[in-house]
Amino acid sequence: MAQARRGIESASPALVARTLDGLTYWAKSWDTPARLPPATFLLPNYDEYLIAYKDRHLVRPAADVDADGIMKGSDAFAHPLIVDGVLAGLWRRRVSGAKIAVEIVPKVPLTVRQRRAVSAAADRLAAFSGPGLMFVGRV
């Protein structure tokens, strides 16, 4: 924490603080970009997006969604599916020789736009992984 405070202090002329819901965020600018980057990802297990913070309430699904089954029990160490910046399910991979089978398992209802975003994230994973990757039950 001391190092983080010193870093913020040293950069503070260029950073602007904003407090939302009792949490303080620092940014160079609070102007909304013309186009937001994609916020739907198939993350690896142990990714710092989920494990680096003690308080994960900002990445949990909305209160009206039953999220109890996400990342618990046998799926506790599965790869997380992030949709619109929020935990929405998981994905599993099975390797058999040169073939990799990937199954995407949403645990919350997804809109048509969100399903397209998941499909685009799957395409990015396939491009990164190479020709041996195949999807089982695309979203």
Quote the CA–CA distance of 70 and 56 in Å, as a whole number.
13
Report the range of poorest mean pLDDT among 12-16, 64-68, 93-97, 111-115: 64-68
Q: How many whole angstroms separate alpha carbon 15 and alpha carbon 11?
A: 6
Angstrom CA distances, 57 to 12, 60, 85, 128, stand at 27, 5, 12, 30
pLDDT-based confidence at residue 63 (cuts at 50, 70, 90):
low
Looking at the predicted structure, is the pLDDT value of residue 120 above 70? Answer: yes
- What's the average model confidence in pLDDT over 83-110? 88
Higher pLDDT, 17 or 74: 17
Going by DSSP bridges, is the β-strand pair 79-83/41-42 parallel, antiparallel, or unpaired? antiparallel
**pLDDT exceeds cutoff 80 at 46:** yes
Q: For the chain, give every domain's residue range.
A: 1-31, 35-136
| Mean pLDDT along residues 69-80 | 72
Please give the DSSP secondary-structure letter assigned to residue 46: T
57: left (phi over 0), alpha (psi -120 to 50) or beta: alpha
Tokens of 42: 């198939």
Alpha-carbon gap, residue 18 to 105, rounded angstroms: 35
For residue 103, pLDDT beyond 80: yes
Position 112 confidence tier, pLDDT thresholds 50, 70, 90? very high
* pLDDT > 90 in the chain, percent: 17
- Lookup: tokens for 72: 């618990």
Q: Strand 23-27 to strand 41-42: parallel, antiparallel, or no bridges (unpaired)?
A: unpaired
The pLDDT confidence band at residue 115, using thresholds 50, 70 and 90, is: very high
CA–CA separation, 61 and 85 (whole Å): 10
Compute the distance between CA of residue 71 and CA of residue 51 in angstroms, rounded to an integer. 12
